[in-house]
Amino acid sequence: MRKLIRAREQHTKLPGPCRALKPPAGDEIAPGLHYVETVLKYEAAETLNVPAIDEQPIDRRRLLCFDTETTGLAGGVGTRAFMIGVAAWAGNALTVRQLYLTAIAGERAMLQTFAGWLKPDTVLVSYNGKSYDAPLLKGRLRLNRVDHRLGELPHIDWLHPTRRVYKGSLSNCKLATIEREVLRIIREDDLPGSEAPAAWLAWLRGQSSRNLARVLDHNRQDVITLMRLGDHLTSR
């Protein structure tokens, strides 16, 4: 099976490091891997009530909101994450950590770094992550032989309670719609997630880093929104 997967991946044409442009943000923490950190003031209750996960209120410091940007939106063999963003809360600050590939060779280091952020008491938080982000990351972790506890941790996927509350009253339950219509978050100069793969590949080919910077902004706002959506849904 591994041989078949590797053979298929060899047919997925990804450009080599032919660019001269610098990465748009962050620092290189391993060959082919950049890291960006943003700290934001964030005031909220110290616990969340999520009965589906735990009968007791969950300490907010356990939450790890995560989101990926990938080389293809359909998923499947050959699709990989080129960016992983997480948000975690401590005190009255929200720390957003982002990893992104500047070369395919950095994938294993990116996955190892992400796996290191998963603590035994972590509660994962996503939006459609149970169906897409988590399975994709599990597959890439397995192929890169990186030990992890991704499948062992409790996972809150806000898509499902959001649908229960807002289905029928909104045109759809996409995260962008919930942001705009429910949380009243307005993004400026946002690059749609569907354009993220093209932006990353274009930068690898030596084109402007502007759109890749917009992908970083989009990913950062996604994980911040996950935290704010949790506040909204659990305070109703």
68, pLDDT greater than 50: yes
Name the residue type at position 173. Answer: C
- Residue written as tokens 């209750």? 45
What pLDDT sits at residue 187?
A: 86
Question: Is the confidence at residue 100, as pLDDT, over 70?
Answer: yes
pLDDT of residue 1 exceeding 80? no
Taking residues 96-107, report their average pLDDT: 96
Question: Mean pLDDT across the chain, nearest whole number?
Answer: 87
Q: How far apart are CA 85 and CA 99, in angstroms?
A: 6
User: 225 and 179 in contact (C-beta within 8 Å)?
Assistant: yes
Region of poorest pLDDT, from 8-12, 61-65, 221-225: 8-12
Return the CATH number of the domain spanning residue range 26-234.
Answer: 3.30.420.10
pLDDT band at 148 (very low <50, low <70, confident <90, very high): very high
> Cβ(135)–Cβ(155) under 8 Å?
no
Output the pLDDT for position 92: 79
Confidence of residue 74 (pLDDT cuts 50, 70, 90): low
Beta carbons within 8 Å of 231's beta carbon, 6+ residues apart = 44, 45, 48
What is the mean pLDDT of the segment spanning 65-87? Answer: 87
**Report field, pTM of the whole predicted structure over 0.85:** yes
Instruction: Report how far apart, in Å, the C-alpha atoms of 94 and of each of 15, 90, 104, 173, 216 are.
Output: 35, 6, 29, 25, 17
Residue 115 pLDDT = 98
pLDDT at residue 44 is higher than 90: no
Average pLDDT over residues 26-47: 91
Residue showing tokens 């950062």? 220
Given a cut of 60, is residue 20 above it in pLDDT? no
pLDDT above 90: percentage of residues in the chain: 66
Residues 6+ apart with CB under 8 A from 225: 175, 178, 179, 183, 185
Give the per-residue pLDDT at 183: 92
Instruction: Using DSSP bridges, classify how beta strands 63-70 and 123-126 pair: parallel, antiparallel or unpaired.
Output: parallel
User: Dihedral (C-alpha) 147, 3, 80, 76: value to the nearest 10 degrees?
Assistant: -110
pLDDT at res. 21: 72
Question: In this predicted structure, what is the pLDDT of residue 5?
Answer: 46
Cβ neighbours for 39, distance < 8 A, ≥ 6 positions apart = 93, 94, 95, 96
**pLDDT for the residue numbered 29:** 97
